[in-house]
Amino acid sequence: MPTVGADVAFGLVAENLSTAEVRSRVREALTAVNLLEMERRPIYALSGGQKQRIAIAGALARHCDVLLLDEPTALLDPDSQIELVTQVQRLVKRRNLTALWVTHRLDELDYCDGAFLLRAGQVAAQGDPNRLREELLQTEASNL
């Protein structure tokens, strides 16, 4: 889409909403991810972290209950990674959302309530993120 606002509004097209309702939802969603001032900015002018937050705003505009995030911090610099993770945490708490987060970065386990460890496409373990991190690190160490 050509602009941030149009990108966030894209998922609302099928919902048969009035123009005023679409504008309201777009502004609300952009406010939630702290990017309202970028509503008219071209998509190509955004950083990677801003693009990730715009994608989240699109889901929020549709009043989703679950965010499915597949490697959302990939290709982001360390500061943008932390900003995105903490932004999602705030949204989860404020809006009573569930965020399912796919990642290979063990440090992101510090921000979750629970975790699943997958091996060969199957759930190998689930539960406390710190316990799973230790299990994974022990497995990796024994394979060296």
Q: How many domains does the chain have?
A: 2
Looking at the structure, tell me whether residues 54 and 20 fall in a common domain: yes
* Alpha carbon distance 67, 41 (integer Å): 24
pLDDT for the residue 48: 87
Looking at the structure, tell me whether residues 94 and 51 fall in a common domain: yes
**Active site annotation includes 15:** no
Looking at the structure, tell me whether residues 95 and 118 fall in a common domain: no
pLDDT for the residue 62: 95
Looking at the structure, tell me whether residues 135 and 66 fall in a common domain: no
Question: CA nearest 60: which of 52, 71, 49, 70?
Answer: 52
Q: Which of 21, 71, 134, 140 is catalytic?
A: 71
Angle formed by the axes of helices 78-95 and 48-61, nearest 10° = 10
Looking at the structure, tell me whether residues 50 and 22 fall in a common domain: yes
pTM for this prediction: 0.83
Looking at the structure, tell me whether residues 132 and 97 fall in a common domain: no
Looking at the structure, tell me whether residues 21 and 61 fall in a common domain: yes
Identify whether the C-beta of residue 5 lies closer than 8 Å to the C-beta of residue 38. Answer: no
Token duo for residue 124: 């190998």
Per-residue model confidence as pLDDT tens digits over 34-80: 999 999 999 999 998 899 999 999 999 999 999 999 999 988 888 88
Considering the domain boundaries, does residue 106 fall inside one?
no
Give the range of the structural domain holding residue 123, as residue numbers without chain letter.
114-144
Name the most confidently modeled range: 20-29, 83-92, 103-112.
Answer: 20-29
Tell me, what CATH number does 76's domain have?
Answer: 3.40.50.300
Considering the domain boundaries, does residue 120 fall inside one?
yes
Considering the domain boundaries, does residue 107 fall inside one?
no
| List of residues 6+ apart from 134 with CB closer than 8 A | none
